[in-house]
Structure 1
């Protein structure tokens, strides 16, 4: 098996020339071009060509499995899926199609994107749904974790392995390191050798960080470890990471509020001088709002300021924000060949809904969805490893 071509570019040569063969089907240059444009319009982090090829590869593998199991979608299901997807942008399906058409994306590309996503979801539910059982104990444990209001302090080390294209090799390396590392010194040596994080020079050692400031999924992952143990690999945009828990403390006097974070992502050319340029930029500005003046003559997507709950914040961004105070910045991340000047604008408690009752069935559905997602990820990697994937 070979990975897809990371160097593929938008629409070169014949639009119907195949760019990748997956078993008995092919992905054409036109499909890649269209999906990449769609990915860019959605502002999905990462390289649009990489993301497009990965998504199209999953589509082909899903289509093979759907044919094997005799699974088909009705036009009503696809139309409902398109309507639901468009509603996330507060648009009707017709308004969404009109908007992407102006961006050079064919309506059929949107329809295929939605249909293939629905098809994969139905496949996963059919294959794993009957085997996923969520007990009342599982729900009680989730409620306890979700309502625990005591702040925890974690002392972690990290190894962040950059990914270009298919993460299969990087995941394999992360799993190998996890099996082999038994000491803090061993982890530090591996971090210096393999990690692309700024902490690599410190052997991957991070400062104390509160559980309120990092993604809940990661909190659950590392709290299940004993000091010295290494976590399962965590997939981040353009990277795979593993963490070693060095110590954990509990502050019984401090409540852990639910948090909203506001942050700015300012894209800078990833040149040899980018770190000096970022430092100069940091010295020129005081708040995130000051970045608007810096981005005045740049494309719109070069500056994005958004406010999200911690749970909704991408893992790699949340990990960087956890190490920042308001007004501080990081340049550890990259996006599509650019360096990200990431600035923390604010961090504040999220208002809680008074008198809200716990919906155990909703929690059960959420836990089922999480388990199915995990099973789907493993299955997809199995399908990829078994497929014959090659460039024509």
Structure 2
């Protein structure tokens, strides 16, 4: 899995300072400052690597520079989110979208600064450290990885700074102006009670705003994103890079929603898609949406996938010189032992017999497991082990259920409904606020 796919927290960036200072050393008066005095050869032989090209401005946003390097390094992050595979024919369109994202980030940081909202280097550094740790690297190692793939730690820092600044600006300027009445919350709770037994969905969205003048271009961008998703691209990563909804920072996640809570166009798509599916670009008010159905469940009805498990994992490996036939015979013996594990206490004995490793994990949601394992484990009882799974290269493992707590569904609390409604209204106003920032900005393209 790529670095960009595994980043599940907000990312940060340092605003571009703009401009560079040139240090000039004074020459002694007796020295003639001409090319002739250097006695340069007419056909010099060049050694070493060529200097990088001069970084030129791509856009200047209210006096702040966005360079071609900024664009290319952010584009490289998009490529990483798609395992480095981006159709050459799509690069120019993606590059333009990346530029628009950088312009929006710059406007967001500038608006936050105008409201005296400060982000300290320590806060940004802490986020970078968390990003690196989530990927099993130090910040220096992450920087080397990104540099080797055409990006940089600076590009990540810039993106997170935009996200953090925008979140705090919403808290300061928007959330305080949004209100949700008690009667509105109660109405939602009443509808939930009435809808008991119906289905709700875990939905993620990529929203791209469009005007009549940009409709064709945005529609093509949405289609390009859909094609990249079809080739294995991460929906969450593309939502972070392209979506203009305020949920972009969390990978476009809308949470659990009922079709009736969505615009009619999206509600129709949600009910027609199965979990794991992604919609075509859907025309909605003000632009286009691509939605992904991550999961579904029946409202206020018990679901075995809501169980919380305590597990022991036993993993066995294989000697490099072992033949496939011998390895498969070892797996067969491992499978037989798993069928007679004798509860969680037997997991350690199996590991000792096969020279394997044991890992204990508590509080595991059944829903967080891969779908194939969910289907296998739903009917299993405490003390039983799964059939072996994995690969001969990376190891074969079993999971033993040590504990299983079934979750009884219940009505969401008043506060939970209030918070969801409040966030939806904040999102709507945030989109309008960003639109106003774009309208009032002075942007020069070079």
Q: TM-score category by the smaller chain?
A: 0.3 to 0.5
Structure-2-length-normalised TM-score: 0.40
TM-score, L = length of structure 1: 0.45
Q: Which has the larger radius of gyration?
A: 2
